[in-house]
Structure 1
Amino acid sequence: MRFYSKKGIITGVILWGTVIFLIGSILFLPGGPEGKGETIIAVLVSGLTSAFISWIWFGTYYEINGSQLKVVGGPFRWKIDIMTITSIRKTRNPLSSPALSLNRLEVQYGKWTTILISPKNKKQFCAELSKINSTIDLYL
């Protein structure tokens, strides 16, 4: 079962503001790149960065397959054994993570490992995980 990431306004403004800034810096800033080589490099850097941000924005999701939770944030991937998850709690921690909203869940698994995610439907997501591992402590 696949759960897509909730997309928050603050995260959207930061990510898409970066894309707009990069494109605007090439198009509208006076005294832009001097030579042809510099222009090509500036376009490549802006284009690749914009593509990377788009990949993260449109390619962040969480998938439950059997007893495994797959977390995908653009090019980044994590596989978590659901039986090792000990707790899930709400958080607004702004640390970098595969979550596109600040309304997040902190999933603790293993002995000390955590990951921050932001599924659109948190209750259904937690219910699906609890069906597989009923020992998960939920602090919602």
Structure 2
Amino acid sequence: MYDGYWTPAAGVRNPHTEGFTDRTRFLQKLLKAIYDERAAQQFYRVMYDRAMTMFQKRSIQHAWNDEIKHERMLTHLYRSLTGSEAQVPIPGPPEIADFERSVEQALEDELAAAEHYREMYKMTTFREVRDLLLELTLDEMEHATRFTYIRAAMP
């Protein structure tokens, strides 16, 4: 059963030399994605505390939990492709002026993340990696939908 983590199986093409249009660029985008997932976690932690309704809190908590899952999936992928740990800094605490603006920022960030994963998807022919990236893309689109509902329900 596919568990969202990719590990090259015996007999599979060598992920160090094949399967990517530009492996170096793919790894750069992968490191950026790990950083962005960490930043999103911190952003949602602050947003959650400022949310005013249970609907807002549930939606933010759902996205927050997914971002934690995404970071784990991506760091595992990086380790599988390189044999080393991803050297990614921990983002600083987010600046949130007001809740309404943070919802708009979250929506923009989720759409940008979906686009980022779509670009990465096109850079590889490994089915398992593409499956992982498709899952991430769909999760980010779901988050964008949730933030759209939050925004629409605000006065």
- In the superposition, the TM-score normalised over structure 1's length comes to 0.34
* Structure with greater helix share of residues: 2
Q: Comparing both structures, which one devotes a greater share of its residues to strand?
A: 1
Greater RCO structure (CA 8 Å; 6+ sep):
2
